[in-house]
Amino acid sequence: MLGFQRIIAKSAGYDSWISVILAGVAVHIIVWIIYKILDYSGGDVVDVHKEIFGKWIGGLLSLLFILYLMALAVTVLRSYIEVIQVWMFPEFNSWVFGFFTIVLAYYIILGGFRTVTGISFFSIVLPLYILLLVFFPLDYGHVRNLLPIMNHSVTEIARGTKDMSLSIMGFEALLLFYPFIKNPPKSQKWAHLGVLATTSLYLIASVTATMYFSADQIDKIIWATLTMFKSINMPFVERFEYVGIASWFLVILPNICIALWGAGRGIKKVFSVQQRKSLLWILPIVLVASSLIKSRQQIDMLSGYMANFGLYYIFAYIPILFIITLVVRKMREKK
């Protein structure tokens, strides 16, 4: 959210807001597919893998998803640390911050999935005031930047939609926490409302940045949202981007907790190890991995790999798993 505008603008330019809408529609479709996959089994993705592919191949596919969630936690944590180092404290020690974040995440996860859910709820309620700040830069915006609409080809807009993959990743953790929902089938409408709300936030941030920056500026500015925060002038706060960065920790914390909880839950299901014990292995790996990534090039490389893997996993593997699941179930019904 702090800097996705530059990534999608490289492909779709001032039509990048269309790419945001298309990405949201694609996520709605995948969420519907996930519910269809899990509704029949009543379990999580580990159970589905075991049912369809057997113990060994299914376990290997589940392990791949676990590694993906761990890498997602590393990406979120390291990206946030980079923002702090660039905008606030250049000599900031990533080891120290990473350690205390991991300890906090471990403490939250030990409280069970309800505690993780509670943190996720407060991550929406407490930083809600930030949404109002997005409208301040519109005083300096130019509506004509949005025109003409569809000035880019369908291929370029589709490429911009593809570039949104890193920004929308995370909802696929539903594959693991689905059994913890009280009435899973009835929750689907709320899942789609959540996707709609998130897509709306990205759309507002994208349109605001498009109106605020010129084409050359948006192509060079790494954190467009934070740069727009610098235009906010209030009598009691001189550098409002500092407030935004500090508040953003409440946004990234549940993302880390859900990813780590999912990784621990997956290991518990695959290897029959207590989740508390599995986390004692997972958390140090995440801490070391996030601290060893130093330069901007390494962070970009990590983000690129995660974006590509997430794209293929979410929009290729999950639909393929859905088709295979349908075929297997039809065959069993005939028998």
Model pLDDT, residue 247? 86
The amino acid occupying position 148 is P
| 301: Cβ contacts below 8 Å, ≥ 6 apart | none
Question: CA–CA separation, 32 vs 46, rounded Å?
Answer: 19
Residue 173 phi, psi dihedral angles, 5° rounding? -60, -15
User: Coil, strand or helix: which one is 192?
Assistant: helix
10 Å CB burial of residue 110 (0-12, 13-18, 19+) is exposed
Model pLDDT, residue 148? 78
Of all helices (H) and strands (E), which one includes residue 29? Answer: helix 16-41
Model pLDDT, residue 234? 72
What sign does the dihedral 209-80-262-310 (CA atoms) show? positive
Question: CA–CA separation, 234 vs 56, rounded Å?
Answer: 60
pTM of the model: 0.92
Model pLDDT, residue 49? 93
Q: How many CA atoms lie within 13 A of 187 on its CB side?
A: 16
Task: Provide the residue-wise pLDDT of the chain in tens; the chain has 335 residues.
Answer: 888 888 888 888 888 889 999 999 999 999 999 999 998 877 899 999 998 998 899 999 999 999 999 999 999 999 999 999 988 888 888 899 999 999 999 999 999 999 999 999 988 888 777 777 777 787 787 888 777 788 888 899 999 999 999 899 999 999 999 999 988 889 999 999 999 999 998 998 888 888 888 877 888 888 888 888 877 777 777 777 788 888 889 999 999 999 999 999 999 999 989 989 999 999 999 999 998 988 888 998 999 999 999 999 999 999 999 999 999 888 888 87
Model pLDDT, residue 92? 84
10 Å CB burial of residue 96 (0-12, 13-18, 19+) is exposed
10 Å CB burial of residue 297 (0-12, 13-18, 19+) is exposed
Model pLDDT, residue 58? 93
Q: Maximum CA pair distance of the chain?
A: 74
Residue 42, Ramachandran bin (φ over 0: left; ψ between -120 and 50: alpha; else beta) = left
Whether residue 222 contacts residue 58, with contact meaning beta carbons closer than 8 Å, is answered with: no
Neighbours of 129 (CB within 10 A): 10
Q: Go through the domains of the chain in sequence order and give each one's CATH number.
A: 4-334 (1.20.1740.10)
